[in-house]
Amino acid sequence: MIKVAFWYDRPQEYSGGLNYFRNLLYALSRLGNPVIAPYVFFGTRVDRKITREFETIATVVRTRLLDRNSLAWILQRILFKYLGSLTLINWVVSKHGIQLVSHGVHVYGKTRPFLVIHWLPDFQYLHLPELFPQAYVAQESSRIRAVAAQSDAILLSSYSALADFRQIVGSSPSSPVTVLPFVSQPTIASAAGAPAATRSALNERYGLMMKFFYLPNQFWSHKNHLVVFEAVRLAKEHGVDVAVVCTGNLKDYRSWDNSYANMLFNFIATNQLEADIRILGSIDYADVLHLMADCVAVINPSRFEGWSSTVEEARSLGKRLVLSDIPVHREQSPPRVTYFQPDDADELSRVLMQLWRLPPDGELIEDRRQAREDLDGRTRQFAAGYTDLVVNLVHRAGR
């Protein structure tokens, strides 16, 4: 067995990263003859509920080296910045016999006792630089070039991301690049021991409408909730009371004053849409999947995505989708999709009104059966693609 460490050095609030780890490790656990023994390294401050989910599909290790601004974290950064030393990381990883570190964001250097695969989820700053501090935009391409130079392999989730990556590092990067789209697993919640929620239980917990569209995106400005809210307002003007339920972290990590979420709440109040738009904030992942299964259709109005977990989750459940017409959504190409221009609330309102009048999605049993059937094959393909990458790296390195 090849021992692979998944080094989770992203913020706990970054649910997209956590979901990616869940999906990959679950897929690996479904292989009949696994050759990878996964270890997930978390900081000691990560919620115990999160680490418990991973204990069924990996060995979980907690370390202060991943506690941002802790003494251990600061010391390691100083050692690396001034001496190029990875002493503390090497010690923690070597203690468990790890041969390869996967999906971290550190620049590790070339002299180390383990191989490194870097996953780069997207390059949003190239497309929406106005959402980032000027210093970040100037520094990020330099960091990515360093990552590419000091990795044994680069992993991307889409060909759209590959085009961006080549724009930054050139057409012949020093590290091999693999494009491996991830596959979302609606069975993860039950596999982690989460109880099944009934519609009545969800309704009691969240005060849901009887019928609703579902928008499960973080409240970050590029996620473009406002076009959906405006479409709801326009539909109401046409006599159609379309309902939307939103979930996701209300804090944008790029905004100190939470101005984006506040703007959306003000829009709802100003237009008297409180009965039509329900914002629930962050909820359990099991509940996300239950709401997704129960909605009229899933909406993702985002202006930019790396590879949308919202789209993949809905696809795995056989759901209808309403998506912004951006390159990566076209690349994902789910089977039951309607596209709209991300700035066109009029177009979106017409789409929502049309779907609102259709029979409930839950009655489309054949679509769900086909989605489950397709999911098994897509999951195995995802796991096999990652396994091949790891095995080939380890064999080439003679480890």
| pLDDT range class, residue 156, cuts 50, 70, 90 | very high
Q: What pLDDT score does 81 carry?
A: 81
Residues whose CB is less than 8 angstroms from the CB of residue 242 and which lie 6 or more positions away in sequence, other chains included:
213, 231, 232, 235, 236, 276, 349, 352, 353, 356
Q: List pLDDT tens digits, range 293-314.
A: 889 999 999 999 999 999 999 9
The mean per-residue pLDDT over the stretch 56-60 comes to: 93
pLDDT at 292 exceeding the cut of 70: yes
Burial 107-133 (b: 16+ CB within 10 A, else e): bbeeebebbbbbbbbbbbbbeeeebee
Q: List pLDDT tens digits, range 96-122.
A: 999 999 986 665 666 678 899 999 989
**Cα 145 off chain centre by:** 23
Q: Using CA atoms of 266, 270, 275, 279 in order, give the dihedral in degrees to the nearest 10.
A: -10
Q: What percent of the chain has pLDDT over 70?
A: 91
Q: What pLDDT score does 177 carry?
A: 94
Q: Which amino acid is at 393?
A: L
Q: What is the number of other CB atoms lying within 10 angstroms of the CB of residue 229? A: 22
Q: What pLDDT score does 119 carry?
A: 92
CATH 3.40.50.2000 range(s) for the chain read: 2-185+377-397, 195-363
pLDDT at 253 exceeding the cut of 90: no
Per the CB < 8 A criterion, the answer to whether 19 and 309 are in contact is yes
Residue 95: name the closest of 69, 114, 71 by CA: 114
User: What spatial distance separates the first Cα and last Cα of the chain, rounded to whole Å?
Assistant: 12
Q: Which amino acid is at 285?
A: Y
The DSSP secondary-structure symbol of 95 reads T
The mean per-residue pLDDT over the stretch 353-371 comes to: 79
- What pairing do the DSSP bridges indicate for beta strands 321-324 and 337-340? parallel
Q: What is the number of other CB atoms lying within 10 angstroms of the CB of residue 71? A: 9
Rounded Cα distance, 56 and 54, in Å = 5
Q: What pLDDT score does 274 carry?
A: 95
Topology of 195-363 in CATH? Rossmann fold (3.40.50)
pLDDT at 193 exceeding the cut of 50: no
Q: What percent of the chain has pLDDT over 90?
A: 59
> Please, is 346 exposed, middle or buried when counting C-beta atoms within 10 Å of its C-beta (0-12, 13-18, 19+)?
exposed
> How much of the chain is in helix, strand and coil states, percent to nearest 5?
50, 15, 40
Q: What pLDDT score does 195 carry?
A: 54
Rounded Cα distance, 177 and 181, in Å = 13
Decide: pTM greater than 0.85.
Answer: yes
Burial 166-205 (b: 16+ CB within 10 A, else e): eebbeeebebebbbbbbbbbbebbeebebeebeeeebeee
- What pairing do the DSSP bridges indicate for beta strands 298-300 and 321-324? parallel
Topology of 2-185+377-397 in CATH? Rossmann fold (3.40.50)
Q: List pLDDT tens digits, range 204-222.
A: 888 888 899 999 999 999 9
